[in-house]
C-alpha cells in the first residue's frame, strides 16, 4: 500500500529531493514523534503504517498503527482528544517523522490521563520520578469497557 508515495531510487533524491518517500521498517511501520505545536512539548511516540499515514495526510488528524492491538486507530476517537495535525516533519533519510499537533479537549494525549506519555523522568539507575503529577482526565471513565493497550 506504499504505492501512493514516491519510489526510493537514489540516496540523493531521498536526502535532498522534494519527493516524499517514507521508509517503512520490515513490519511496514514508520516511527512518529508527536509534539504539541504551541509549546514543542513531546506528547507521545507512536507508529504509522501506510494506511495511517495516508489517512493522517488526507484528514489532517493523527492516525496511528497500534502494535499492541494490531489495528489502525484514530487518536481521540474514543476519548475525544483528537490531534489536529499542523505540520509533518520528515527526517533526512525519511525513516522517521515528527508531527506537530493541536490536541482537542483537555489537551491530554496519554491514555493514562496525563498530558504527555512522557510523564516520568529517570532519576537514577532504577527509579522513576513523576514530572507530571496531575491527570487531566480519568482513564477508567473515558475508556470504560476498552482494553488497556499496555502489554506486559
Bridge partner residues of 89 (DSSP): 98
Q: Which residues of 37-68 are buried (b: 16+ CB within 10 A; e: fewer)?
A: beeeeebbebbbbbebbbbbeeeebbbbbeee
Q: For residue range 45-90, list pLDDT tens digits in order.
A: 999 999 999 999 999 999 999 998 899 999 999 889 999 999 999 9
Domain 2-6+23-136 has CATH 3.10.20.810: yes
pLDDT at 1 over 50: no
CA–CA distance from 77 to each of 19, 59, 64, 88, 95 (Å)? 31, 13, 12, 21, 27
pLDDT at 147: 86
pLDDT at 152: 85
Question: Residues 73, 56: contact at Cβ < 8 Å?
Answer: no
Provide the 10 A C-beta neighbour count for residue 137: 21
What average pLDDT does this structure show over 17-27? Answer: 96
- Phi, psi dihedrals of residue 8, rounded to the nearest 5°: -80, 100
d(CA 82, CA 103): 6
Averaged pLDDT of the chain: 94
The full set of domain ranges for the chain reads 2-6+23-136
Q: pLDDT band at 3, cuts 50/70/90?
A: low
Amino acid at each position: 500500500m506504499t504505492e501512493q508515495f514516491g519510489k526510493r531510487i537514489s540516496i540523493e533524491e531521498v536526502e535532498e529531493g522534494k519527493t516524499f518517500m517514507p521508509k517503512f521498517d520490515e513490519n511496514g511501520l514508520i516511527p512518529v514523534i508527536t509534539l504539541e505545536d504551541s509549546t514543542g512539548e513531546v506528547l507521545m511516540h507512536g507508529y504509522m503504517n501506510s494506511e495511517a499515514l495516508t489517512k493522517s495526510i488526507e484528514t489532517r488528524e493523527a492516525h496511528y498503527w497500534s502494535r499492541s492491538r494490531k489495528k489502525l486507530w484514530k487518536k481521540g476517537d474514543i476519548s475525544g482528544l483528537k490531534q489536529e495535525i499542523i505540520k509533518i516533519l520528515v527526517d533526512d533519510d525519511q525513516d522517521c517523522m515528527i508531527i506537530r499537533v493541536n490536541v482537542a479537549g483537555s489537551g491530554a494525549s496519554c491514555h493514562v490521563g496525563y498530558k504527555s506519555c512522557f510523564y516520568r523522568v529517570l532519576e537514577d539507575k532504577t527509579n522513576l520520578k513523576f514530572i507530571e503529577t496531575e491527570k487531566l482526565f480519568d482513564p477508567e471513565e473515558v475508556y470504560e469497557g476498552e482494553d488497556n493497550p499496555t502489554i506486559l
